[in-house]
Every structure is written in structure tokens, then in C-alpha cells.
């Protein structure tokens, strides 16, 4: 995050972990209860050993300076204090991360 804030790195790939975790938990509970995943897993993917694995594809986001607030901070992955330490405060200010 700090390299993105300073411009050393342009972007990273972000998957909304809370959404991924919620869906994984919902699927695990359904399987433990012997229920079908059809109402949860609307997608199917192939693995090297199995075809048509029930899945929920969580969209990925290009994480840039412009969407730090709307992604990792909003989702609680990082706080402003964790990203904008004293060393990075000026860079955070410059991109409007407050």
C-alpha cells in the first residue's frame, strides 16, 4: 500500500476478502448440512482434476491511489494510520488520503 501511495508501484490486484470469506463460510455450512450449493454457487470452474466445481467468482479490483479509501480501508483490511505512518504522511496528503 505504501509503495502505491508514494507512486513507486502503480497498482496491485485486490480481491474483497470479506466478501470472499462470507461466501466461503456460507458454502462450507451448506456442505456440512448436506445441502446443495446451487443457490449459492452460480459459477463453475475447472481444476486440474475436476471439471465443473461449484464456485462464486469474486471480482478483482485494480487497486490504485484513486481507490484506496473505497477498497482496503472501507473493507477494514488497512487503516489510514497503518498506511499513512509518519514516513508516508506527505505522500498520503499529496494524493488526498486522509
For residue 40, count other CB atoms closer than 10 A to its CB: 16
Structural domain boundaries in the chain:
2-94
Are 76 and 47 a contacting pair, CB within 8 Å? no
At residue 13, φ and ψ (nearest 5 deg) are -95, 130
Report the predicted TM-score, pTM, of the whole model to 2 decimal places. Answer: 0.75
Cell, residue 77: 483490511
Are 63 and 13 a contacting pair, CB within 8 Å? yes
Nearest to 9 by CA among 86, 76, 62, 74: 62
| Amino acid 25: pLDDT | 96
User: Is the pLDDT reported for residue 19 higher than 90?
Assistant: no
User: Is the pLDDT reported for residue 17 higher than 90?
Assistant: no
> How does pLDDT run across 29-81, given as a tens digit for each residue?
999 999 999 999 999 999 999 999 999 998 899 999 999 999 999 999 999 99
Amino acid at each position: 500500500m505504501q509503495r502505491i501511495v508514494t507512486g513507486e508501484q502503480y497498482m496491485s490486484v485486490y480481491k474483497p476478502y470479506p466478501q470472499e470469506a462470507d461466501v466461503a463460510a456460507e458454502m462450507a455450512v451448506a456442505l456440512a448440512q448436506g445441502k446443495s450449493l446451487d443457490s449459492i454457487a452460480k459459477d463453475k470452474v475447472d481444476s486440474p482434476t475436476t471439471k465443473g466445481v461449484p464456485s462464486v467468482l469474486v471480482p478483482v479490483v485494480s487497486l490504485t491511489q484513486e481507490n484506496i479509501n473505497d477498497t482496503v480501508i472501507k473493507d477494514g483490511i488497512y487503516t489510514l494510520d497503518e498506511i499513512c505512518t509518519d514516513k508516508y504522511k506527505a505522500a498520503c496528503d499529496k494524493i488526498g488520503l486522509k
